[in-house]
Structure 1
Amino acid sequence: MLSSRNCASPGNSPPPTPPAPTRTHHLLHSILAGVDPATTATSTLHADAAHLLATLLHSKAAIRWADYAHRSFTHLHGPTHPLTLGAAHTLATAHHRAGHHQRAYRLYRQLVDHLTTTAGPDAHPTLAVRATTARVLNDLGHHDAARTLLADTITRHRRAHPGHPATARMAEHLDHLRHHHTTSNSNPAPPVDIPVLVRA
C-alpha cells in the first residue's frame, strides 16, 4: 500500500514558480514600494532598482523610472559618474523607443559630451553613442546630417579600434541610410548595436 506522502495531490502541490521576469518585477516593485518617482532618491539601492526596472518596462513607465534613476544618481554621485551615465543612456533609449526623438537627441548629445570628457572622444562607448545619435537624427528627418555624423563616427572608430566588429555594423547602417533616407517612421532603419555602458 502506498504511503499518503507518496500520493500526488493537487491540494498539496506547491504553487508554480512565476517566470524569472515576473519575479524580478515583483522584487523591484517591493524595493521601490512607497517611492515617488517624482522625487529624488537618497539611496543607491532605490536608484539601482529604478534603473533596472526601467530596462524591463516600456513607454511612459520606462521613462518615469529611468528619469528617476538618472536624477537620483546625479544627485548622489554627480553628472559624470558611471552610474549616472548608464542611467542617462537608459533614459535616452526609453525616450527613443517611445518616439520622443527630440528629447532622445538632446539626451544622447549630453551623454556624448560627458563620455568625451570621462572616457575620451574616440573611446568605444563615446563613438557607439554618436552612432545612435545619428540614428535619432535620421528619425527626426535630418537625413544628410545623420549620414555625415555616422560617416565621421565610422572613420573615427575604424582608426581608433581597428578590426572591431561594431565598425562593420555601423557601415551597414550607413548603407541603409544612404539607400532609404526617405523611409518613414512606420518602417524605421535597423538599430545600430549599442553596448551597455559598463560600470566602473
Structure 2
Amino acid sequence: MAPRAVIAVLMLALLVAGCAPGSQTVRLEPRPDVARSDEGQGITVALTVEDRRDDPVIGFRDGERGGEARIEPYEDPALGIRRGVTRALERRGFEVVAAGVPADRRLHIALEALQYERQAGVVTRGIHLEGRMSARVERGDGDRYTGKARARSERRLVHSPSQTENEQMINEVVTRMLERLLDEAPLREMLAGDRR
C-alpha cells in the first residue's frame, strides 16, 4: 500500500473515532418550584433519599445499550435530590434534619427509575426521558402515606445534545417528579397536619 493511501486510511479512522460520541457525566440538581410559605410552622422532618435503580447509568448517547457513550451521574443522585427536597421543604417552613435525629415527621424519597433513550432519525434524533419516584411520610403515631410520581419528556433535535443540554433535560424530568410528589395533597397534609 502506498504511503499516501496509508495516511488517508489513518486520517479516515481518526475522523470516524472523533465523531463517535463520548461518555457524559451529568449533575443532578433539581429545583422544585415551591412558593415560600409558613405551612411547615417549624415542624422537623427527618429526610432520607435513596437511589433504588439497579444500574447507575442513565442512558447512552449513541443509542446503543451497553456502548461506551454512557450518560452517568456525577455523584450519587440521592445527594442532588436531597438538596432539592431540602430547599423546597425549607421554603414551606419546615426544618429538615438528618435521618437519625428525632423529628416530628420522617420523609423517605426513592428514585425508582431514570432512563434516557436516543432514537436515531434521518434528519433529527429523538430523545426520550422517563422517570419514577416514590415518597413515604411517617408520623410519630404510626400514621403514614406513600405517594408516587412519574414524568417523561420527548425532544427532537437536529444535533447530538451536549453535556449541558442533557443535564438540563434530565434535571427537568427529576424536578417535575419532585414537584408532583411534594404537591400531593395527602402528602402535604401528613407533613403539615397537626402535631401528634
Instruction: Tell me which interval the TM-score lies in, with the shorter structure as reference length.
Output: under 0.3
Q: Given the two structures, how large is their TM-score scaled by the length of structure 2?
A: 0.23
Q: Given the two structures, how large is their TM-score scaled by the length of structure 1?
A: 0.23
Higher fraction of strand: 2
Greater relative CO, 1 or 2 (CA 8 Å, sep 6+): 2
